[in-house]
């Protein structure tokens, strides 16, 4: 048995690879799951791994080692200790205050740096990391990877001119485990066919199409909104923030055909009535759009339930979608039931909002667990299993005098992979709201098409 094989068997015992059915961040169902983090619990194995990786790099020249956060950080630190080559750390996000540094540690422009990654799948995030490191003035030629899931990543990096040194490919792992009776034949066949069928071929763009997203939606509301999007070729939600029912009904008639949903703040309407609700519902059926109440619930479960079902507005009677904060925790979201599609607030568009990276991460984690949550409101990319709704969209980027910050449809769709743009004043305050809605629909849809073309 080779050293490499021995290492794999010991690491396998630690639980770095699991077989079964797993939903990956991208929403894809995978028959295996790889997580190298348990290695930190075995200093001996971590050291062995770093020796193997250094051996792979024996003919490469580099002055710095940089690990991709988080799983590869301990691995790269071990490599640095073993080789005496200094380490630099890459942040996940640049510091918002103080130095705004992307890289921590001492380095100078023009130095050569090797990047270390635990697992490579499509390679897209690795390419982004390499580019960020290069932006800081460092030169990257080599990338060391512990495991290649064989889903296009190595090819992508090689095409871009980087030398990828991988310790194991997934195929090799399967062979070794099978040889040692740790995997049975049917499992091997299942994994092999997954590897063959599911290479992430869309290596030039990782944007998931609406058709693909539709396939893995479990909630009727998320299915519906995606179906409408495809039918109308629209990713536009109009936010009708006006104060009378007459104005809302008039706007809904005018913009209805261009949008997937109309977003409302029902508590700003001065003359709310049941008749208004039934007329709005009728328009939404005729023009095929959803009713999205932007209530931003933010209380304990019991109160939220009362606010959702009772009072004058009886939101639960008519809303297809609602927004809710996650501040009160997981249980507080359950009270909305499974009929309405819940969109959680992970990140707000206004200047100085307290929804920082940490908050966003927690909000996403919680949203992924809740069966009635279909997506989040955010100003940056989400795991593609959640639909991304982005407000603060206006063709004239800038903002207002009350903290709102605007981005263009193209920016949010291209950079954040936004699924649905939310436009308020850009539409309802326009001289001809129906023309403005058609313009935003077209801008949004064209930006989406540009991003899925490859
Ligand atoms: P605007 O006129 O395009 O700025 O309207 C934006 C709408 O989206 C408005 O109803 C806000 O309440 C809503 N919104 C937002 O602007 N930013 C956020 O982070 C969230 C909601 Br959450």
Q: The CATH number of the domain where 190 resides is what?
A: 3.40.50.2020
Q: What is the average pLDDT score of the chain? A: 91
Encode burial over 365-397: b for 16+ CB neighbours within 10 A, e otherwise.
Answer: ebbeebebbbbbbbbbebbbbbbbbbbbbbeee
Q: Are residues 336 and 428 in the same domain?
A: yes
Mutate which of 248, 342, 392, 394 for ligand 1? The one with the most ligand atoms within 8 Å of its CB, which is: 392
Q: What pLDDT is recorded for position 195?
A: 79
Residue 192: which pLDDT band, with cuts at 50, 70 and 90? confident
Q: Is 294 in the pocket of ligand 1 (CB under 6 A)?
A: yes
Average pLDDT over residues 2-22: 90
Residue 229 in any domain: the answer is yes
Residue 203 has pLDDT above 60, yes or no: no
Residue 46 in any domain: the answer is yes
CA of 46 to the centre of ligand 1 (A): 48
Model confidence pLDDT, tens digit, residues 226-242:
999 999 999 999 999 99
Domain finish residue from 136, 166, 197 = 197
Residue 421: which pLDDT band, with cuts at 50, 70 and 90? very high
What is the percentage of the chain residues whose pLDDT exceeds 90? 70
Average pLDDT over residues 159-183: 90
Q: What ligand 1 atom has the least distance to the C-alpha of 393?
A: 3
* Distance between CA atoms of residues 9 and 48, nearest Å: 13
Residue 102: which pLDDT band, with cuts at 50, 70 and 90? confident
Q: Is 118 in the pocket of ligand 1 (CB under 6 A)?
A: no
What CATH number corresponds to the domain at position 409? Answer: 3.20.20.70
Residue 206: which pLDDT band, with cuts at 50, 70 and 90? low
Residue 201: which pLDDT band, with cuts at 50, 70 and 90? very low
Contact 71, 39 (CB under 8 A): no
* Distance between CA atoms of residues 339 and 435, nearest Å: 33
Average pLDDT over residues 88-115: 81
* Distance between CA atoms of residues 341 and 373, nearest Å: 6
Residue 13: which pLDDT band, with cuts at 50, 70 and 90? very high
Residue 289 has pLDDT above 60, yes or no: yes
* Distance between CA atoms of residues 290 and 230, nearest Å: 14
Residue 362 in any domain: the answer is yes
Q: What pLDDT is recorded for position 99?
A: 56
* Distance between CA atoms of residues 385 and 375, nearest Å: 8
Q: What pLDDT is recorded for position 111?
A: 95
H or E, element range at 324: strand 321-324
* Distance between CA atoms of residues 320 and 316, nearest Å: 8
Residue 1 has pLDDT above 80, yes or no: no
Residue 198 has pLDDT above 50, yes or no: no
Residue 202 in any domain: the answer is no
Cα→Cα distances 381→21, 55, 73, 128, 386, Å: 25, 36, 23, 14, 10
Lowest pLDDT segment from 137-141, 395-399, 402-406: 395-399
Helices (H) and strands (E) in the chain, counts: 18, 18
Q: What ligand 1 atom has the least distance to the C-alpha of 323?
A: 22
Q: What pLDDT is recorded for position 190?
A: 83
Residue 88 in any domain: the answer is yes
Model confidence pLDDT, tens digit, residues 306-343:
999 999 999 999 999 999 999 999 999 999 999 999 99
> Could you tell me if residue 265 is left (phi over 0), alpha (psi between -120 and 50 degrees) or otherwise beta?
beta
Q: Could you tell me which residue, 126 or 431, shows the higher pLDDT? A: 431
Domain finish residue from 173, 197, 221 = 197
* Distance between CA atoms of residues 249 and 276, nearest Å: 8
Residue 426 in any domain: the answer is yes
* Distance between CA atoms of residues 263 and 321, nearest Å: 9
Q: Is the dihedral of CA 333, 268, 444, 94 positive or negative?
A: negative
Residue 203 in any domain: the answer is no
Q: Are residues 191 and 227 in the same domain?
A: no
Q: Are residues 47 and 112 in the same domain?
A: yes
Q: Are residues 278 and 182 in the same domain?
A: no
Q: Are residues 304 and 221 in the same domain?
A: yes
Residue 296 appears among annotated catalytic residues = yes
Q: What pLDDT is recorded for position 204?
A: 37
Q: Are residues 193 and 215 in the same domain?
A: no
Q: Are residues 217 and 178 in the same domain?
A: no
* Distance between CA atoms of residues 221 and 321, nearest Å: 7
What domain range includes position 354?
A: 210-452
Model confidence pLDDT, tens digit, residues 255-286:
999 999 999 999 999 999 999 999 999 999 99
Q: Are residues 143 and 245 in the same domain?
A: no
Domain finish residue from 197, 227, 244 = 197
Mutate which of 255, 269, 349 for ligand 1? The one with the most ligand atoms within 8 Å of its CB, which is: 349
Residue 25 has pLDDT above 80, yes or no: no
* The two three-digit tokens of residue 319, written as one number: 């809303």
Residue 205 in any domain: the answer is no
Q: Are residues 167 and 249 in the same domain?
A: no
Instruction: Look up the pTM and report it.
Output: 0.61
Q: Are residues 10 and 111 in the same domain?
A: yes
Contact 167, 52 (CB under 8 A): yes
* The two three-digit tokens of residue 403, written as one number: 């903290």
Q: Is 380 in the pocket of ligand 1 (CB under 6 A)?
A: no
CA of 454 to the centre of ligand 1 (A): 32
CA of 399 to the centre of ligand 1 (A): 11
Q: Are residues 95 and 239 in the same domain?
A: no
Q: Are residues 241 and 345 in the same domain?
A: yes
Domain count, the chain: 2
CA of 380 to the centre of ligand 1 (A): 15
Could you say which of 296, 334, 411, 442 is catalytic?
296
CA of 220 to the centre of ligand 1 (A): 25
């Amino acid at each position: 048995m080779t050293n490499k094989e021995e290492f794999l068997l010991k690491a396998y015992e630690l639980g770095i690879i699991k077989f079964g059915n797993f939903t990956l961040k991208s929403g894809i169902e995978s028959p295996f799951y790889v997580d190298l983090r348990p290695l930190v619990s075995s200093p001996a194995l971590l050291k062995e791994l770093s020796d193997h990786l250094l051996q792979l790099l024996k003919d490469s020249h580099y002055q710095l080692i940089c690990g991709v956060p988080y799983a590869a950080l301990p691995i790269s630190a071990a490599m640095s200790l073993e080789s005496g080559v200094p380490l630099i750390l890459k942040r996940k996000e640049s510091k918002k205050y103080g130095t705004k540094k992307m890289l921590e540690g001492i380095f100078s422009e023009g130095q050569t740096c090797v990047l270390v990654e635990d697992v490579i799948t499509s390679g897209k995030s690795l390419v982004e990391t390499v580019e960020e490191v290069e932006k800081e003035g460092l030169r990257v030629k080599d990338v060391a990877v512990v495991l290649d899931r064989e889903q296009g990543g190595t090819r992508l990096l090689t095409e871009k001119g980087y030398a990828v040194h991988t310790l194991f490919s997934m195929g090799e792992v399967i062979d070794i485990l099978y040889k040692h009776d740790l995997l049975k034949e049917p499992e091997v066949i299942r994994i092999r066919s997954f590897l063959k069928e599911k290479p992430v071929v869309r290596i030039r763009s990782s944007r998931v199409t609406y058709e693909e997203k539709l396939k893995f939606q479990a909630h009727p509301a998320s299915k519906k909104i995606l179906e409408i999007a495809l039918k109308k070729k629209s990713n536009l939600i109009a936010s009708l923030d006006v104060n009378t029912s007459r104005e809302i009904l008039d706007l809904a008639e005018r913009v209805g055909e261009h949008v997937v949903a109309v977003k409302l703040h029902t508590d700003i309407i001065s003359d709310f009535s049941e008749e208004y609700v039934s007329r709005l519902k009728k328009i939404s059926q005729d023009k095929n759009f959803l009713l999205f109440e932007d209530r931003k619930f933010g209380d304990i479960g019991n109160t939220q339930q009362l606010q959702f079902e009772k009072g004058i507005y009886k939101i639960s009677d008519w809303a297809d979608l609602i927004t809710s904060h996650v501040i009160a925790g997981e249980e507080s979201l359950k009270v909305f039931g499974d009929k309405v599609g819940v969109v959680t607030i992970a990140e707000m568009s206004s200047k100085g909002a307290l929804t920082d990276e940490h908050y966003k991460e927690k909000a996403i984690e919680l949203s992924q667990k809740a069966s009635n949550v279909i997506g989040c409101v955010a100003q940056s990319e989400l795991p593609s299993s959640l639909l991304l709704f982005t407000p603060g969209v206006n063709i004239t980027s800038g903002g207002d005098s009350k903290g709102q910050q605007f981005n263009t449809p193209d920016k949010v769709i291209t950079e954040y992979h936004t699924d649905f743009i939310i436009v308020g004043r850009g539409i309802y305050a326009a001289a001809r709201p129906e023309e403005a809605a058609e313009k935003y629909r077209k801008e949004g849809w064209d930006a989406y098409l540009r991003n899925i073309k490859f």
